[in-house]
A and B are shown apart, each in its own frame.
Chain A
């Protein structure tokens, strides 16, 4: 089976010698849901724009449905839906105008899905974009991105700036799409709870590289944070080199080390050091432990 999306050793800089992406490699299968996480500036938006063929990588190989989005832009874009982080829809257009335009671009446009989403979001086709709230404008952007029933949906921080209820409605629509079409979704977000709800796999970007690529359930069950008093262990390098250690940071006189292993096993591994506490942690905590200062 051809992967839906393949990044192979992708690098890209905006300034010479300052890579934003530095050798990113991973791929996604049909129907897979990937949550792309990382700090601001980690390269998430750049990577998603490369996947869309909006930016050319300086190094590496990109395949979408087995094709290059640069060489076969139409073939590829027909099968993708995309909502950008700062998507600006033309303020003077009505929702009906935008739908008409997309319907013209995408012959496979699904009117039933369109009507269902308009109803669900409580939007009228006559309203102009400038008359919409921020959340409603995002809902229109999502509607435009999914009514041609894409096989791959790329969402770049889709819920940025939305209130919790609007975010939930956005997630509901995405889940409906998953249910109906089995589309693959890659979405970047800083809302870890949203990612836990619909993501199945986490790709963590850190300084332009893939720091972690792991199933969400495994991450919740088989990754833990070990808290070790610095008095018990002076040499942080020894800790970093231990098998399974994914990263260490200092927190008020303790080392916090993220380990690939369940808490009991890791506690046993570290027993020699002294008083060590190992706990499982939700995604948000793991995120902070892995990429926080």
Chain B
């Protein structure tokens, strides 16, 4: 899977990696049991320090999303964790406020935002649906 980092992003690079992998797991593009690139390979591919990738993998492992099997590599866990719903809800509400503010400033109405959300949902879950059909 491709990881793209942006040094100008608000998040530090290791968090950008964590977020992209978590999103890929949530969207079904990374499936339980699937093998991830080694941290060295990912470092070369994304042109970032190997220690940064290792830090992202370590944190994801501590959170229970991925697991390292000695000598074999790093894999998506069979049952990635459920996230704390209260926490998650507050964060999503924050993100929704920012999203709506940006849309209204740009002259988009609420219905237009709903349409965009549906498109985004299709993009995020297309891998999963292909699997199901």
Q: Is A60 an interface residue (CB 8 A)?
A: no
Using Cβ atoms and an 8 Å threshold, which residues of chain B touch A171?
47
Q: How far is the CB of B37 from chain A (nearest CB, A)?
A: 12
Asked if residues B12 and A197 are in contact (CB atoms below 8 Å), the reply is: no
Using Cβ atoms and an 8 Å threshold, which residues of chain A touch B52?
200
Using Cβ atoms and an 8 Å threshold, which residues of chain B touch A216?
12
Rounded to whole angstroms, the CA-CA distance of A283 and B12 in the bound complex is 10
Q: Which of under 10, 10 to 19, 20 to 34, or 35 or more describes the interface residues of B?
A: 20 to 34
Q: How far is the CB of A269 from chain B (nearest CB, A)?
A: 21
Rounded to whole angstroms, the CA-CA distance of A192 and B7 in the bound complex is 8
Q: Beyond A172-B44, A197-B13, A216-B12, is A179–B7 a contact (Cβ under 8 Å)? A: no
Q: Beyond A196-B7, A197-B5, A217-B55, is A175–B43 a contact (Cβ under 8 Å)? A: yes
Q: Is A280 an interface residue (CB 8 A)?
A: yes
Q: How far is the CB of B44 from chain A (nearest CB, A)?
A: 6
Using Cβ atoms and an 8 Å threshold, which residues of chain B touch A179?
40, 43-44, 50
Q: Beyond A175-B43, A179-B40, A197-B13, is A33–B49 a contact (Cβ under 8 Å)? A: yes
Rounded to whole angstroms, the CA-CA distance of A238 and B7 in the bound complex is 34
Using Cβ atoms and an 8 Å threshold, which residues of chain A touch B124?
none
Q: Is B10 an interface residue (CB 8 A)?
A: yes
Rounded to whole angstroms, the CA-CA distance of A263 and B14 in the bound complex is 19
Q: Beyond A200-B52, A217-B14, A217-B55, is A175–B47 a contact (Cβ under 8 Å)? A: yes
Using Cβ atoms and an 8 Å threshold, which residues of chain A touch B50?
175, 178-179
Asked if residues B10 and A175 are in contact (CB atoms below 8 Å), the reply is: no
Partner of A196, one of B13, B15, B51, B55: B13
Partner of A200, one of B10, B11, B40, B51: B51
The interface centre, meaning the residue of A33, A176, A198, A200 with most chain B CB atoms within 10 A of its CB, is A198
Q: Is B48 an interface residue (CB 8 A)?
A: yes
Q: How far is the CB of B20 from chain A (nearest CB, A)?
A: 16
Complex: chain B residue closest to A176, CB-CB: B44
Rounded to whole angstroms, the CA-CA distance of A172 and B43 in the bound complex is 9
Interface 1/0 per residue, B40-65 and A, CB below 8 Å:
10011001111110010000000000
Q: Is A19 an interface residue (CB 8 A)?
A: no
Asked if residues A175 and B44 are in contact (CB atoms below 8 Å), the reply is: yes
Asked if residues B49 and A200 are in contact (CB atoms below 8 Å), the reply is: yes
Q: Is B1 an interface residue (CB 8 A)?
A: no
Q: How far is the CB of B116 from chain A (nearest CB, A)?
A: 26
- Known pairs A175-B49, A179-B50, A198-B49; list 12 more (Cβ under 8 Å): A33-B51, A192-B7, A193-B8, A197-B5, A197-B48, A200-B49, A217-B12, A221-B12, A221-B15, A280-B10, A282-B9, A284-B8
4 shortest interchain CB distances as A-B pairs: A196-B7, A220-B12, A193-B7, A217-B12
Name 25 A/B residue pairs within 8 A (Cβ), A-sorted: A33-B49, A33-B51, A168-B47, A172-B47, A175-B47, A175-B50, A178-B50, A179-B43, A179-B44, A192-B7, A193-B8, A196-B7, A196-B13, A197-B7, A197-B13, A197-B48, A197-B49, A198-B49, A200-B49, A200-B52, A217-B14, A217-B55, A280-B10, A282-B7, A282-B10
